[in-house]
Amino acid sequence: MSRNKTTLSELRVGLLAVATLVILIVFILSVTGDISLFRDTKTLRTRFNAAEGLKEGDEVRLAGKRIGKVESVAFGEIPRSPSDKPIVVQMSVDGKDVGDRIRSDSRAVLAQQGFLGDRVIDITPGTVNGEPVPDGAEIDSADNAGLAQVFQGANDILVVFNTVGKQVQELIDNLNRGEGTLGRLLRDDAIYVNLNRTVLESQQLLKRIQEGNGTVARFLNDPTLYNDLRGATTQLQQIAADLRAGKGTAGKLLTDDQVYEQTRQTIARANSAIEKLDRLTGDIEAGRGTIGKLIKDEKLHDDLQATVASVRTISQSLERGEGTAGRFLKDDRLYNSANEVSSELVKLLYDFRQNPKKYLSVRVSIF
């Protein structure tokens, strides 16, 4: 009798342990989403042209948030047209979490996690223009880039990388053969020697500069030049200060309003004189006035030319000694006679001064 009681107690403990373990397993599976005993689930369907590696248990997401999993991936009826999609996917989603966000204008997109990750179904949220879908409804799908297209893009990228790799290899081969500017720079010893010589000469130049030899070294090391330059800068600053203060001719020209006004008036008078000169030039060009007629009048030009010709004729006659004036200029006898007359007049004047009574005698007689 005691043995039977012990067996029943052990049985009860065992059953309690098993029940506890089952409850714990069910709770864990419920939390992880593998079973939904305590959740409001909703079954939805969609169709794709190809499964693209989709399998049972893959995630179902709504706008990127996990809401359920794929229950089954199977073939549907034989398509009646090329536009029909033969793959039927059944999904189980959390109805409480989804609510009314999956609507008739939602779309199921077959995507993947990463480049080579698992496939997932991502559902786009619906809008107020659509109606909430009931349990067991089918939503439309939108085809995304399949694995073939992804691998085709990757293949294109690999082709590009392969081409670039060949070009890089050719470039390295050219460098190793010493072809091109960079290849010669790497392989030609003469370039290395010239570069080394340039470095040595630069070092010698820097050494000479540091020792104070040469113009550049003196410019850098001689404090006299610095002092002179500083003095010149100080003088320039003083000149600028004097100009701002209005000192000197230039300063007054810059700051004195009276000088500015006089300068402006002078410029105005100069502009007026230039305008008058322009009008005078225009009158001359138009042949108005004496100078204009002198320049433009052909008759005056002809008269002047005739006058010049007459003067030239008279000059030639005088030069030949023709006429009274010509003889006066060319005949020596006339010159001598005039000279003698002048001498006699001098003698007469001298005699008049010595004996004026001889020439000034006044007789007064009455009757």
Structural tokens at position 172: 């390295």
Q: Which residue has the tokens 């010159």?
A: 335
Select from 147, 148, 142 the least CA-distant residue to 46.
Answer: 142
Element (H, E) at 230: helix 223-245
Give me the percent of the chain exceeding a pLDDT of 70.
Answer: 78
Residue 232 is encoded by which pair of tokens? 């010149």
- CA-wise closest residue to 109 among 143, 139, 133: 143
Which residues, 6+ apart, have CB-to-CB distance to 307 below 8 Å? none
Both tokens of 282, joined, read: 């225009």
Strands 119-123, 108-112: pairing is: antiparallel
Alpha carbon distance 121, 124 (integer Å): 10
**Mean pLDDT: which of 9-18, 261-270, 317-326 is highest?**
261-270
Task: Give pLDDT, residue 216.
Answer: 65
pTM: 0.35
Burial label for 254, CB within 10 Å (0-12, 13-18, 19+), is middle
What is residue 300's predicted lDDT score, i.e. its pLDDT?
Answer: 72
Paired with 109 in beta bridges are: 122, 142
Residue 144: its pLDDT value, please?
Answer: 57
Structure confidence at residue 146 (pLDDT): 46
Q: Which residues 6+ apart lie within 8 Å of 157 measured at CB? A: none
Per-residue pLDDT, 32: 57
Q: Output the CA torsion 313→316→318→324 (10° steps).
A: -50
Residue-wise pLDDT for 184-233, tens only, equals 777 777 777 777 788 888 888 777 777 766 666 666 666 776 777 778 88
pLDDT of residue 359: 66
